[in-house]
């Protein structure tokens, strides 16, 4: 049964901000709309490969991973920090400890076992995270805005993101593309990216592969050979100028910037009618 029926909720209007139109590739020539949050989520989900073992973060990463499992990656193994391995939730979990994660899961274990026996042994293909700030070298801040001793804003903190960023073989991020979210240097480093370059990460002894992609509502940032995030893809209707203007450092642009594919009707239906009918995640990303 679709989640919208189970919760007693009607499929809601698209959540997450301004609507954009895309044209169907059919003879009917009708249009479908999507929001920046939906665009981010769909493109984040497409990064995941069938068979990946993913340490799932809260917020939009959670939505993206569940969308991937429902579409092109049915053999995706989702791991949640509370100690759930191979989660197959009947509805979208609202937190890493949501009871719906337990039913149908491959295994349940302690948080210690998740981090020590899975993450630190190198068994996690992907760590999927968000963050308040992501800097030039993919370091992430989820702790404070401003000075640590006298912060302007106190954020929720690391949770498991410090360990995930350090040990996952690939780390992906998803966040809106705003200058305040992309400073040249984070106010505080909660999770290590490439520190101040690939050589610095290697020298630190951190074994994970580091950040491989940042999905925003403008496009995609990926690290170059030095570990610096550069613009490699734009979403439909977005421009290089948009991305540069909303980045806090002189953003480099790849020689051949590609254009991402817009969300399909099937992907949007899953997001709106089954995964997030109340817009709990998508509205929060607006």
Q: Would you name the residues annotated as active-site residues?
A: 81
The pTM of the full predicted model, rounded to 2 decimals, is: 0.87
pLDDT at 25: 41
DSSP state of 180: G
pLDDT at 221: 99
pLDDT at 185: 98
pLDDT at 285: 63
Please say if the pLDDT value at position 122 is more than 80.
yes
Length of the chain, in residues: 286
Q: Which of 58, 52, 61, 163 has the alpha carbon at shortest distance from 117?
A: 163
Please say if the pLDDT value at position 196 is more than 50.
yes
pLDDT at 31: 75
Max CA separation in the chain (angstroms): 61
**Residue 75: partners with Cβ closer than 8 Å, 6 or more residues away:** 50, 51
pLDDT at 26: 42
Q: What is the pLDDT of residues 150-190, one digit of tens each?
A: 999 999 999 999 999 999 999 999 999 999 999 999 999 99
- Structure tokens of 52? 């990946």
Q: What is the pLDDT of residues 9-31, one digit of tens each?
A: 333 344 445 554 444 444 333 47
pLDDT at 286: 56
Q: What is the pLDDT of residues 237-280, one digit of tens each?
A: 999 999 999 999 999 999 999 999 999 999 999 999 999 999 98
Q: In order of start, what are the domains of the chain with their CATH numbers?
A: 36-261 (3.40.1080.10)
Q: CA 16, CA 3: separation in Å to the nearest integer? A: 19
Q: What is the pLDDT of residues 200-247, one digit of tens each?
A: 999 999 999 999 999 999 999 999 999 999 999 999 999 999 999 999
DSSP state of 194: S
Q: What is the pLDDT of residues 23-71, one digit of tens each?
A: 444 433 347 799 999 999 999 999 999 999 999 998 899 999 999 999 9
Distances (CA, A) of 83 to 75, 140, 152, 237: 19, 24, 33, 41
pLDDT at 15: 46
**Residue 119 C-alpha from the chain's centroid:** 18
Please say if the pLDDT value at position 3 is more than 50.
no
pLDDT at 23: 40
Higher per-residue confidence, 246 vs 281: 246
pLDDT at 166: 97
pLDDT at 30: 45
């Amino acid at each position: 049964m679709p989640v919208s029926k189970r919760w007693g909720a009607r499929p809601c209007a698209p959540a997450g901000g301004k609507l954009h139109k895309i044209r169907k590739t059919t003879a009917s020539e009708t249009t479908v709309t999507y929001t920046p949050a939906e665009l981010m989520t769909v493109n984040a989900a497409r990064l995941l490969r069938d068979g990946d073992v993913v340490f799932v973060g809260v917020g939009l990463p959670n939505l993206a991973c569940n969308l991937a499992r429902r579409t092109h990656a049915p053999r995706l193994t989702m791991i949640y920090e509370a100690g759930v391995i191979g989660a197959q939730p009947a509805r979208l979990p609202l937190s890493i400890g949501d009871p719906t994660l337990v039913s149908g899961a491959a295994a349940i274990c302690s948080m210690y076992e998740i981090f020590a026996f899975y993450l630190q042994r190198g068994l996690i293909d992907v760590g999927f995270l968000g963050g308040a700030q992501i800097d030039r070298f993919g370091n992430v801040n989820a702790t404070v805005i401003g000075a640590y001793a006298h912060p302007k804003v106190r954020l929720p903190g690391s949770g498991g993101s410090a360990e995930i960023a350090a040990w996952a073989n690939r780390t992906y991020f998803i966040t809106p593309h705003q200058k305040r979210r992309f400073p040249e240097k984070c106010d505080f480093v909660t999770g290590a990216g490439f520190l101040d370059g690939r050589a610095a990460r290697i020298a630190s002894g951190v074994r994970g592969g580091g950040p491989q992609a940042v999905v925003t509502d403008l496009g995609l940032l990926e690290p170059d050979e030095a570990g610096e995030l550069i613009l490699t893809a734009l979403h439909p209707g977005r421009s290089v100028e948009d991305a540069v203007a909303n980045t806090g450092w002189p953003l480099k642009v790849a020689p051949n910037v590609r254009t991402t594919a817009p969300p399909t009707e099937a992907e949007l239906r899953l997001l709106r009618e089954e995964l997030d009918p109340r817009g709990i995640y998508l509205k929060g990303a607006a």
